[in-house]
Chains A and B, each alone.
Chain A
Amino acid sequence: MNEGGEEMDVRMIGDAATAEPVVAAGGALRVERHERADPDTAIQVVFDVRGLSVYYGDFRAISDVTLPVYRHRITALIGPSGCGKTTVLRCLNRMNDLIEGARIEGTILYHGVDLYDPRVDPVEVRRRIGMVFQKPNPFPKSIYENIVFGPKISGYKGDMDELVERSLRRAALWDEVKDKLKQSAMALSGGQQQRLCIARAVAVQPDVILMDEPCSSLDPIATSRIEDLMQELVEDYTIVIVTHNMQQAARVSDRTAFFTVDVDDEGHRTGTVVEYDQTEVIFTNPRERRTEDYVTGRFG
């Protein structure tokens, strides 16, 4: 655990508008950095989300979300439609920057660094914090090209063949595609395409993998393979998953955050976190009545 004032890794620093690094590689920049660990478990906190509110123009999508995300753990975000769980997920790698009018209040510290510091390069953020989407979205290229695309852009100098094999093995896809690496990724099944997307995310050596309903378009067998894969990946990565499937959250995650929608007197709907705890607590003995009602199906 590092305390404040440590020198920050300059690769995180860049000008968001120009994508030009404001400090040359190897240069020194001192920024405030407060990395911390959970006081009870000593598990390192990767994301320290504090008092986060997200606005799209005048519309406040989520309000006052506080949520530590722990290293090498799977954190599930659950809740009804419109509760803001995907919004929070997209804040974790600054995907919301791409939406015009989106802004945040509060802070998201990533390993103690303010993720929204203007000097932080969002491209580097997205390399370190990869994302897998609801619908598999391989590039319309070969399986091989899908894997090497990111590493090429980021200037990877190692053995590409070795990287492709390692990434595909990591995503439990190698044995199924090793003889057809030059074939189009679009010819793969839905479950294989999703694992390819995971391999593609892994290829750039991320720290965190965000998953936005990664199994919602997959059949039960493909879903099961992704869930098994998540259990393997979490040994090396930190995973945050948004899922509509509560049983999936119960099966795969270590911690679960339950979000809901608050409606004010004027009918404005805002997402909030009701309860965040170990998954077994959420699904056996939640502390909040609203969580209980949702997970037991008493909440319409």
Chain B
Amino acid sequence: MARVHFHEELEALELDMLGMGELVERAVGRSVSALVHHDDELSKEVVDGDDEVDNMYLSVEERTLHVLALQTPVATDLRLLSAILHTNLHLERIGDMAVNIAKIAHSVLDLPSSQTIMSHLQEMGDIVRPMVRTSMEAFGRRDLELCLRLHEMDDPVDRLNLGMYKEVAALAEDAPSLNWGLRMLLVARQLERVGDHAVDIGEQVGFLLTGEFREFTDASHPARSAHDAG
């Protein structure tokens, strides 16, 4: 009674989801690069590239629902499909955030910028992009230790995001600079959310591996550490 076709479809779904992870990870990196280097062509490419992400999202979503409806998966298979459904949505949202950053990059081409803020945004991008990659590696390798590292990787992102308010407030004297700065707050917020989505994907991997769902970070109880969850 081995269910060969069913398990082949599970593998295909996971591979497509992991492929989508590569796409959105690259999109995040490119969107930050477009912003920092004032590369409008790259911004456009990121926006246009999101159609492929959306199509993959819909495909994975539909096929996962078909498998749930037709194959009555249980145990690891059920947890895998649940994790794929959640992760698929996280990845789609990360793709949208890359698009948001790319659109903001396009909108600020003519505005004065701050090198300090730019470097901090670059720094955030340099952390969250590997976070997305790490979450996908943790999924593919079924690596719980890697999942727990995501929480630690996310801490400096949160700190940089919080510091951004002060840096933008310092631009208040000059209207065009403040206009630019407020948009950079939005960029920082998008990057911070990318980091959160990567952590959430890690939690899905944790559920897949252990059968127990635990948040690695808890916004209402921030003192609880990732290791408590693990």
Give the distance in Å from the alpha carbon of A296 to the alpha carbon of B2 in the complex: 8
Residue B108 is within 8 A (CB to CB) of chain A in the complex: no
Q: Which of B173-230 contact A (CB under 8 A)?
A: 210-212
A297 touches B76 (CB 8 A): no
Instruction: Name the distance in Å between A286's Cβ and chain B's nearest Cβ.
Output: 6
B residues 68-104 touching A (CB-CB < 8 Å): 72-79
Contact status of A298 and B2, CB under 8 A, knowing A283-B75, A285-B79, A286-B75: yes
Minimal Cβ-Cβ distance residue in A for B1: A297
With A247-B72, A296-B73 in contact, do A284 and B78 touch (Cβ < 8 Å)? yes
Whole-angstrom CA separation of A283 from B77 in the bound complex: 10
B74 → A minimal CB distance (Å): 4
Q: Does A292 contact B (CB under 8 A)?
A: yes
Chain A interface residue count, Cβ-Cβ cutoff 8 angstroms: 15
Q: Shortest beta-carbon distance, B6 to chain A, in Å?
A: 7
Compute how far the CA of A117 lies from the CA of B108 in the bound complex, rounded to whole angstroms. 89
List, in ascending order, chain B residues with CB within 8 A of A299's CB: 1-2
Report the minimal beta-carbon distance from B136 to chain A, rounded to whole angstroms: 23
Within residues 14 to 37 of chain B, which ones have a CB less than 8 A from any CB in chain A?
A: none
A283 to B72, CA, bound (A): 11
A232-273 contact mask (Cβ, 8 Å, vs B): 1 or 0? 000000000000001100100000000000000000000000
Contact of A300 (CB < 8 Å), options: B2, B6, B74, B75: B2
Most A C-beta atoms less than 10 A away, residue of B1, B3, B6: B1
User: Is the Cβ of B1 less than 8 Å from the Cβ of A284?
Assistant: no
Are A284 and B74 in contact (CB-based, < 8 A)?
yes
B2–A283 contact, CB under 8 A?
no
| Given A295-B74, A296-B76, A298-B7, A285 contacting B211 (CB threshold 8 A) | yes
Which single member of A284, A295, A296 contacts B211 (CB below 8 Å)? A284
Please measure, in the bound complex, the distance between the C-alpha atom of A190 and the C-alpha atom of B75, giving whole angstroms.
33
Determine the chain A residues whose CB is within 8 A of the CB of B7 once the complex forms. 297-298
CA distance A266 to B7 in the complex (A): 34
Instruction: Determine if A297 and B79 form an interchain contact, defined as CB atoms under 8 angstroms apart.
Output: no
Contacts of A246 in B (CB 8 A): 74
Pick the most buried of A246, A250, A284, A300: most chain B CB atoms within 10 A of its CB: A284
The distance in angstroms between the C-alpha atoms of A291 and B74, with both chains bound, is 11
Q: Which residues of A contact B2 (CB under 8 A)?
A: 297-300
Contacts of A283 in B (CB 8 A): 74-75, 78
Q: Are B1 and A285 neighbours in the complex by a CB distance under 8 Å? A: no
Residues facing B in A167-224 (CB within 8 A) are none
* CA gap between A299 and B6 in the complex, in Å: 13
Q: Are A292 and B1 closer than 8 Å at their CB atoms?
A: no
Per-residue CB contact flags for chain A residues 267-294 toward chain B (1 = under 8 Å, else 0) read 0000000000000000111100001100
Residue of A whose beta carbon sits closest to that of B74 = A283
- In the bound complex, residues from chain A placing their C-beta under 8 Å from that of B212 are 285
CB distance from B4 to the nearest CB of A (A): 9
Chain A residues in 8 Å Cβ range of B3: 296-298
Question: Are A296 and B77 in contact, with the CB atoms below 8 A?
Answer: yes
Q: Is the CB of B75 within 8 A of A285?
A: yes
Q: Is the CB of A296 within 8 A of B75?
A: yes
Cβ–Cβ < 8 Å partners of A247 in chain B: 72
Q: Are B75 and A292 in contact (CB under 8 A)?
A: yes
Instruction: Please name all residues of chain A whose beta carbon is closer than 8 Å to the beta carbon of B210 when the two chains form the complex.
Output: 285
19 contacts between A and B (CB under 8 A): A247-B72, A250-B74, A283-B74, A283-B78, A284-B74, A284-B75, A284-B211, A285-B75, A285-B211, A295-B75, A296-B3, A296-B73, A296-B75, A296-B76, A297-B1, A297-B6, A299-B2, A300-B1, A300-B2
Chain A positions near chain B (C-beta within 8 angstroms): 246-247, 250, 283-286, 291-292, 295-300
Taking beta carbons and an 8 Å cutoff, which residues of B are in contact with A? 1-3, 6-7, 72-79, 210-212
Besides the known contacts A247-B72, A285-B211, A295-B75, 8 further A-B residue pairs in the complex with CB atoms under 8 A apart = A283-B75, A285-B79, A296-B76, A296-B77, A297-B7, A298-B7, A299-B2, A300-B1
Closest 10 pairs between A and B when the two form their complex, measured CB to CB? A285-B211, A297-B3, A283-B74, A300-B2, A296-B77, A295-B74, A296-B75, A292-B75, A295-B75, A247-B72
